[in-house]
Amino acid sequence: MTVTIDLPSDGVITRATFENLPTPNRGWAWELHDGRLELVHMPVTIWHWQIILMILEHWRRHGHEVAGEQYVADSGFVRGGSGRNNFVADGVVFVAGHRPRPRDTTHDAGVIHVVVEAVSDRSEENDAVNKFGVYAALGVEHYWIVRGDADADQVDGMITMHVLRDGAYEVAGHRMVSRLGEGS
């Protein structure tokens, strides 16, 4: 797919610029990474999607609103800036009582209780390193990173649960996705 984009002469991509981008073909999405606009292919494995659905369902059963493939925004798009650290999270769990508007795709970190990322070899650095520091700096209280075997007969994965303490994430525990309902 070839796309021609007229960007502002100052190179700053604002929310208005972003919203006026041409709609990519199915399976492709615009993303901002370190201030660079990229058109990325967004296929996910069945394992990846099922793991995210299982975790989001766990939180939904506990009364939280949830969503998949959402932007976690820094002071960028939410406040009209460049969106330098906007990241697409595999899953978000909203703070208790928050009801996102149905058409929203970008959320201020203040309304997010948990960010969930299902990590693959391809996404390890972005999910477990780049996003890790940004989400902590934004004050997202919980960050769950899930790793698993996409080739296994059964869909499951090990969650490393991080909690924000004094501005940094600490490991709060580990649990298999299939065992989320136990003891909680």
Question: What is the extent of the structural domain holding 93?
Answer: 44-179
Is the pLDDT score of 174 beyond 70? yes
Distance CA 168, CA 77 (A): 24
Collapsed DSSP state (helix, strand, coil) of residue 91: strand
User: Measured between alpha carbons, how far is 180 from 58 in angstroms, rounded to an integer?
Assistant: 7
pLDDT in tens, 42-90: 666 788 889 999 999 999 999 999 999 887 876 444 444 555 566 788 8
Q: Is residue 24 part of a domain?
A: no
Return the higher-pLDDT residue of 143 and 74.
Answer: 143
More reliable by pLDDT, 101 or 43: 101
1 belongs to a structural domain: no
Paired with 146 in beta bridges are: 118, 159
Contacts of 128 (CB under 8 A, 6+ apart): 117, 119, 145
List the CATH number of the domain containing 52: 3.90.1570.10
- CA neighbours within 13 Å on the CB side: how many for 148? 27
Domains in the chain, number: 1
DSSP state of 127: I
Residue 124 lies in a domain: yes
Q: What is the mean pLDDT of the chain?
A: 80
Answer yes or no: is 6 within a domain. Answer: no
| 25 part of a folded domain | no
The predicted structure's pLDDT at residue 122: 65
Helix H segments across 12-159? Answer: 15-19, 46-61, 124-125, 131-138
Instruction: Give Cα 85 to chain centroid, integer Å.
Output: 12
**What global pTM score does this model have?**
0.73
- In a domain, residue 139? The reply is yes
List Cα–Cα distances, 88 to 53, 67, 106, 110, in angstroms: 16, 11, 9, 16
Q: Is residue 11 in some structural domain?
A: no
Between strands 28-33 and 66-73, the pairing is unpaired
Q: Is residue 12 part of a domain?
A: no
